[in-house]
Amino acid sequence: MSMINYASREINCKIVYYGPGLGGKTTNLEHVYGKVQPDTRGKLISLATETERTLFFDFLPVDLGTIRGFKTRFHLYTVPGQVYYNASRKLILKGVDGIVFVADSQIERMEANQEAMQNLYDNMAEYGYDLTRMPFVIQYNKRDLPNAAPIRELQAALNPGWEVVDGQKQRVTPDAYHAGENLVEQLPTGEWVERATYFEAVAVTGDGVFDTLKAVSKLVLKSLA
């Protein structure tokens, strides 16, 4: 739920990083925190347990520039990765404008990824939000690990696409970030599908972190346009 404040000339938007435990959601925020100019970001708030597992959420506000004289402020949140914190996961999704799903590329974490993705769809549906119709980006993290699954497999498991029923949207839309791939396309079965934009990342070194953030922020601002 973006909030436009005409008095302070600010547009405030909320982006939530979702995904399985230990997948790198907090690491994404820490990297952003470390790299942006201190005067364009606030404090990184972390409600974590003693073992650094996120208990409630991490939070980081960042300014990404000015449009039409309005400061664009993005509030970045992560949710706890463990399913037993689902109550707090759900609370964080309230009023969300854009979602980043941080998947753990390790082949052993495939099931945990799928479980978290299903849980995201379920929690969003409970608020009455339709994930397929809002800014949504997937990040395949930990691409540097030797046991990382191929992108093709991850895409098939986590981003197979949702059906496009609207005739006007049934046209091939190339993926601006991956040459030769399409976001909207027709399957051999004749069905039209749309997939979320995806990025490969190594959050500990910062690779792909800003690409992901920029892409989702852009989608959020465009959804207001």
Partner 1 sequence: MAAGASSWSFTEDDFGAITQSLQRFLYESNARCALLVDRTGQLVATVGEQPKFDPTAFATLTAADFSANDQLARLIGETDFNSLFHQGEKESMYLADVARRVILVVLFDNRTTLGLVRLKMKQSVDELTQIFQAVFQRAQSGQAQGGGLLQGAEDEIDKLFQ
The contact set with partner 1 (CB under 8 A) reads 1-7, 11-12, 14, 42-43, 45, 47, 56-57, 59, 61, 64-65, 67-68, 70, 72, 75, 87-88, 91-92, 94-97, 125, 127-130, 133-135, 214, 217-218, 221-225
Residue 160: CB minimum distance to partner 1, A: 21
Minimum CB distance to partner 1 smaller for 3 or for 187 = 3
Residue 204: CB minimum distance to partner 1, A: 24
Of 73, 101, 82, 86, nearest in space to 16 by CA: 101
Minimum CB distance to partner 1 smaller for 128 or for 167 = 128
**Those residues with Cβ within 8 angstroms of residue 140's Cβ, 6 or more apart along the chain or in another chain:** 103, 105, 148, 151, 154, 198, 199, 200, 201
Minimum CB distance to partner 1 smaller for 31 or for 89 = 89
Residue 150: CB minimum distance to partner 1, A: 29
Minimum CB distance to partner 1 smaller for 7 or for 165 = 7
Minimum CB distance to partner 1 smaller for 5 or for 147 = 5
Residue 84: CB minimum distance to partner 1, A: 14
**Those residues with Cβ within 8 angstroms of residue 162's Cβ, 6 or more apart along the chain or in another chain:** 132, 193, 194
- Are 159 and 148 within 8 A, CB to CB? no
Residue 220: CB minimum distance to partner 1, A: 9
